[in-house]
Amino acid sequence: MPTQIDYEYDHSLYGVEHQSGPFEVTNDIISVYARSVGEDNPIFVDRDAALAAGYADQVAPPTLCALFERGELPDIKLQFGRRQFHGGQRVTPRATIVAGDILTASSHLKDVYTKTGRSGTMAHVVWETTFRNQHGTIVADVQRSQVVRE
Amino acid sequence: MTAASQTTVNRPLTVGDALPSVRRVITRESINAYRAASGDNNPIHYDDAFAATTRFGGVIAHGMLTLALVSEMMTQAYGADWPVAGSLRVRFRGAAYPGDTLESTGMVAKSNADDSVGVVTCNVEVRNAETGERIITGTATLPTRPASGEVSQG
């Protein structure tokens, strides 16, 4: 149930699943991502190490899903604020993601609420996304909170 | 698929146990590398002139880049169990700038490691190591025993 707030936005987005993808998880994407965030666990950076550890291929750090979640969500047309930033993130891995997987994302608007603190009012826009692989297995549940400021 | 088991000595499993902290310096290079990997081209992460007009006053690192310190700390503490089964819930509270040294710390806050539940919850945070400002606060949770069978919920 969405929170009641004083600002207009597109309520018709509730209850609608927004599909995006397919996103191909390549060895390159995993390597570049792992290097950029400083993940040096061998299963993330070395395919042979991942195979030796019993995985089907190079393993993706669970937060890699966030790469595909960003920029794929509809505009909620919130009549408030100008600037957005990333306010919070939840990542719940459900199954291992390895190179060669093809992911699809299903997102829905969970809630929009406001909070007023010392620096003024902020609106929080919360999206929930479920990622599945090519076998239909859920690999991760991701929740993203985007903050909009006055 | 076989779940890999990488044994880690002395995993923090008791309430109060500290996690091994991780320190890293945020650089323009690391921000640019993350930008290239993620395709996140918000000018707040590279355009000095634009960033100067925002409340941040300058270019800042992506939140997910600062969150990587938590992930690395959890991997050091729990080995391969973390990337495969751990979950994270955080708030981004402060911004990190190029040249900032960040430090992640954590402590076991709740432990059902010994009973049938087998879950450990840690309070985690990332701070600016020089000023002490909090950049990230949140919790990280992971099962302490291998899951039996495929995890699938929908």
Q: Which residue has the higher pLDDT, B53 or A2?
A: B53
Which residues of chain B have a CB within 8 Å of the CB of A110?
A: none
pLDDT digits (tens, 9 = 90+) for A12-29: 999 999 999 899 999 998
Q: Which residue has the higher pLDDT, B30 or B2?
A: B30
Percent with pLDDT over 90 in chain B = 56
The two tokens of residue B75 are 């991997």
B80 touches chain A (CB under 8 A): yes
For A103, A130, B19, the CA distances from A100, given in Å and listed in that order, are 10, 19, 33
Percent with pLDDT over 70 in chain A = 98
What's the pLDDT band for A123 if we cut at 50, 70, 90?
Answer: very high
What's the pLDDT band for B9 if we cut at 50, 70, 90?
Answer: low
A129 touches chain B (CB under 8 A): no
Domain count within chain B = 1
Cβ neighbors of B55 (< 8 A, separation 6 or more) are A83, A149
Q: What ipTM was reported for this prediction?
A: 0.70
> Cβ-count burial of A135 within 10 angstroms (0-12 exposed, 13-18 middle, 19+ buried)?
exposed
Distance from CA of A76 to the nearest CA of B (A): 19
CA distance A102 to A11: 31
Look at residue B149 and tell me whether its pLDDT is greater than 50: no
Q: How is A37-93 classified by DSSP, letter by letter?
A: HT---HHHH-HHHHHHTT-SSPBPPGGGHHHHHTT-SPP---SS-SEEEEEEEEEEE
Average pLDDT over residues A33-40: 82
Q: What pLDDT sits at residue B150? A: 38
CA distance A116 to B84: 37
Look at residue B107 and tell me whether its pLDDT is greater than 80: yes
Residues in chain B: 154
Within 10 A of B124 (CB to CB), how many other CB atoms are there?
25
Name residues 84-123 of chain B within 8 A of A (Cβ): 84-92
Q: What pLDDT sits at residue B46? A: 95
CB–CB contact B64 A43 (8 Å): no
pLDDT digits (tens, 9 = 90+) for B110-146: 998 777 778 899 999 999 999 999 999 999 998 876 5
Average pLDDT over residues A32-48: 86
Which residues of chain B have a CB within 8 Å of the CB of A53?
A: 4, 6, 80
Look at residue B2 and tell me whether its pLDDT is greater than 70: no
CB–CB contact A33 B38 (8 Å): yes
CATH class of A11-24+62-149: alpha beta
Q: Which is nearest to A58 in space by CA: A20, A22, A27, A101?
A: A27
Local structure of B129: helix, strand or coil: coil
In a domain, B152, yes or no: no
Side by side, the strands of the sheet bearing A18-24 are A18-24, A102-117, A120-132, A138-149, A83-93, B87-92, B134-143, B119-128, B101-111, B22-25
Q: Is the dihedral of CA B9, B11, B13, B14 positive or negative?
A: positive
In a domain, B109, yes or no: yes
Annotated domain spans of chain A: 11-24+62-149
CA distance B144 to B122: 12
Q: What pLDDT sits at residue A71? A: 64
Phi, psi (deg, nearest 5) at residue A136: 85, 0
| CATH number reported for the structural domain that contains residue B78 in this entry | 3.10.129.10
In this structure, the dihedral spanned by the alpha carbons of residues B9, B105, A39 and B28, taken in order and rounded to 10 degrees, is -160
Q: What is the mean pLDDT of chain B?
A: 85
pTM confidence score:
0.79
What's the pLDDT band for A70 if we cut at 50, 70, 90?
Answer: low
Going by the DSSP 8-state scheme, the letter that residue A2 receives in this structure is P
pLDDT digits (tens, 9 = 90+) for B78-105: 887 777 778 889 999 999 999 999 999 9
Average pLDDT over residues A37-57: 90
CA distance A61 to B68: 10
Q: Which residue range(s) make up the domain with B101?
A: 22-143
CA B81 to centroid of chain Cα atoms: 15
Q: What pLDDT sits at residue B143? A: 83
**Least trusted range by pLDDT, from A38-42, A141-145, B70-74:** A38-42
In a domain, B75, yes or no: yes
In a domain, B5, yes or no: no
* Residue of chain B minimizing CA distance to A71: B40
For A56, A108, A135, B72, B97, the CA distances from A146, given in Å and listed in that order, are 35, 14, 30, 24, 20
CB–CB contact A94 B152 (8 Å): yes
B77 touches chain A (CB under 8 A): no
B74 touches chain A (CB under 8 A): no
Local structure of B9: helix, strand or coil: coil
